[in-house]
Structure 1
Amino acid sequence: MTQISAPSSTSLAALGWSKTFEAQLTPEQTALAPMRIATVHRSRVTALSPSGTVKLNLPAHANTTDFAVGDWVLVDRETDTVTRRLERSSLLRRRTEGTRAPQLIAANIDTLFIVTSCNADFNPARLERYLAHANEAGTTPVILLTKADMVADAASYQSRAAALQRGLEVVTLNAKDTESAAALARWCGPGQTVALVGSSGVGKSTLLNTLAAKDDATAQPTSGIREDDAKGRHTTTSRSLHGVKGGGLAIDTPGMRSLHVSDIGVGLDKLFSEIAELAPECRFRDCTHAHEPGCAVQAAVAAGALDPDRLERWRKLSEENRVNTPVATGPRGNKIMKKGRTKR
């Protein structure tokens, strides 16, 4: 059973309430109780309020998949029924194989901690996928390198991670060490919300336990990794909201190895800003940066100013995004959404 820990202070502000959400209330809704979604399961949703944890009732037309951990909702005080979900300041979501609607991961997060470890789990291409999603979600990404105490040269991992996106912050730490976790304090202050994402076995749950100072009874379960490929087992099976030291909140998530990209054009432009900035200088407006004459991006590769591997990863993600992003087709007023097509 998931253990939910609220902040030590249980005011709305301590739960992340701000003027952004206050401004959305209408005069008729001031009597409703603002609450923050803490867990979303297949058949139930719970929320945190200043008075504690509440099991919510959903209106007849709603489904649990309509809500994300971190959402703010307005609740009828007598029936504990959700009457409205407030507009989100940020939303992290992903599209999974074989589904039409994207899966909601976390909402209203200020900082996304992308957790990886200094071993075989470290994969620049996968980290770029997380970064693109974070950029598109409207949250600030920070890469956390765990198990830094187990390698001789953690600095090389840090420099490789920092090169993935302009201005990206990277922190190396031992997830079990309280002093190392203190390096994250500036993102975990009163009312701030972080979410932790990454593969299984990289130390997300261990880090959450350290940040929240959880005891054995309330700690998130953890497990080790296979030494041959650094892959771990899923110990976190659902998303949940927890209070952490410093007055902030953290959303723990299950490990993700499959992370498809879809509808994240803005996120990719920020991730590959050096390519996005060169593109307007290309001779052709629809340049693919592959073989066209007058391509400024290819010129930068030839001059040694742009890593060709980086360009190849941009090309792969851009094509995947284009193919997976639905586009509206058909006459006005009767449009349907279809997937894009692969370029020949």
Structure 2
Amino acid sequence: MSFPTASSEASSVSHPLAPYGWDDAWEAEFAPYAAQGLLPGRVVRVDRGQCDVAVPGGTVRADTEFVVPRDPMKVVCTGDWAAVDPGGDPQYVRTLLPRRTAFVRSTSSKRSEGQVLAANVDHAIIAVPLAVELDLGRVERFLALAWESGAQPLVVLTKADLVPDPTGLSYLVEDVETSAPGVQVLAVSSATGEGVDVLSALVAGGTSVLLGVSGAGKSTLANALLGEDVMEVQATRDADGKGRHTTTTRNLLVLPGGGVLIDTPGLRGVGLWDAGQGVGQVFAEIEELAEGCRFHDCAHGSEPGCAVLAALEDGSLSERRLESYRKLLRENQRIVAKTDARLRAEIARDWRLKAAEGRAAMEAKRGRIR
């Protein structure tokens, strides 16, 4: 394994794009395009076939005509690193550098397509408002997508000032920690500044994407991290804590304490997209229990020798947690099956076997009755 030299480190730090996350690895990746006279740049905003790109000389507006792939997973996205024309009117994005990570969800379309929400992300900040009752199932869903993306998840409980009782706040943090193994959970208040300095230190030196439902306080939190009111903020309804989508596009912003932040619009739906490993990571304790089951293909339903059901019975595993695990596994399997013919055939075969077993059981029961 080779390590960058002091001179190469100095060159990447002094590069005009260093505040946007440029490093030696990106420089090496870009070398062939540099030889062609193209400019490196990071996509900071995408809008209707055009995008704003931060290049060494500033920010330019560029057309994406030359990078319109058939695969919707490869369209230009906020956070992408690109090779851009050095001049011209308009300027064009010629190609994208391979992504290190990508936060992907399934679209609401019937075609079962994935949508990349942010590219080349190091930290996935999941904003959960304390203004309303915690939805742990939604937190687990976001976490599954975050782990699958390759980024390190971080759960931020926003509007902590609305929970004045320190004991009550600590209980809420513990509840989320139970649903987020291996993930730091941080209570933050943009109004009082509680936890903002800790969050700033955690996200410095990398790219973070800010995710959550509308009304989660993402734009307010982004302003707190930026130290100024850059993102527009709108009030939420007292009844349910929901608000209108203040942020309408995904924007990449340079943080004063180091690192960059991608703010996203509030997400009404976060469908899984081939996130089997992410689901396993979120429910690591259930996956570990499953290794002790008598049968390797145990469905944790009524099988004898099921370690998961044993944990459910002795109270070390909650019913809610197991049901959430089953729900996300089923959803992910449906999504994958839509694009995997072999898996579809396996699912159909399993259903036929279960149907046959059910019919045989009914016939045996009727025979006993006669």
Gaps (5+ residues) in structure 2?
A: 1-13, 355-370
Question: Which secondary structure does the structure 1 equivalent of 2:60 belong to?
Answer: strand
Deviation of 1:214 (Å): 2.4
- 1:15-164 matches, cutoff 5 A: 15-27=20-32, 29-30=34-35, 31-60=37-66, 62=68, 66-79=75-88, 80-98=91-109, 99-120=111-132, 122-151=134-163, 152=165, 153-164=168-179
Shift of 1:247: 2.0
Deviation at 1:187, TM superposition (A): 2.5
CA distance in structure 2 between the aligned counterparts of 1:230 and 1:10, rounded to whole angstroms: 43
Match of 1:286 in 2: 297
Shift of 1:305: 2.0
- CA deviations on 1:4-49 (whole Å, 9 max, x unpaired) are xxxxx97222111123323323545443211001111123111112
User: After TM superposition, what 4+ stretches of structure 1 lie above 4 angstroms from structure 2?
Assistant: 336-344
- State, as a whole percentage, how many aligned pairs show the same letter: 36
- Is this contact kept in 1: 2:103–2:119, CA < 8 A? yes
CA shift at 1:130, angstroms? 0.4
Aligned counterparts of 1:149 and 1:61: Cα–Cα separation in 2: 46
Which sits farther off after the overlay, 10-19 or 200-209? 10-19
Encode CA deviations 1:141-177: one digit per residue, 9 max, x unaligned: 1111111111132212111111112221011111234
Q: Which stretch shifts more, 221-230 or 63-72?
A: 63-72
Asked if the contact 1:289/1:297 (under 8 Å) is kept, the reply is yes
Partner of 2:365: none
Shift in alpha-carbon separation, 1:298–1:184, aligned structure 2, 3 A: same
Secondary structure of 2:68 counterpart: coil
Aligned-pair distance for 1:320?
Answer: 0.8
TM-score by length of 1: 0.88
Report the CA distance between 1:307 and its aligned residue: 1.6
Task: Output one character per residue of 1:278-306: Cα deviation in whole Å (capped at 9) or x when no partner.
Answer: 22222222211111112121122222222
Amino acid at match of 2:112: R
Q: Distance in 1 between matches of 2:347 and 2:252?
A: 36
Does structure 2 conserve the Cα–Cα contact (< 8 Å) formed by 1:121 and 1:231?
Answer: no
- Change in 2 beyond 3 A, CA 1:10/1:229: farther
CA-based RMSD:
2.5
Q: Structure 1: where are the runs of 5+ without partners?
A: 1-8, 331-335
Equivalent of 1:166 in 155, 169, 181: 181
Task: State the partner residue of 1:262.
Answer: 273
Task: Name the count of aligned residue pairs.
Answer: 327
Aligned to 2:232, the other structure's residue is in SS state coil
Distance in 2 (alpha carbons) for counterparts of 1:225 and 1:204: 12
Q: Letter of the 1:137 partner, please give it.
A: S
The answer for the alignment partner of 1:4 in structure 2 is none
Is contact 1:32–1:77 with CA below 8 Å preserved after alignment?
A: yes
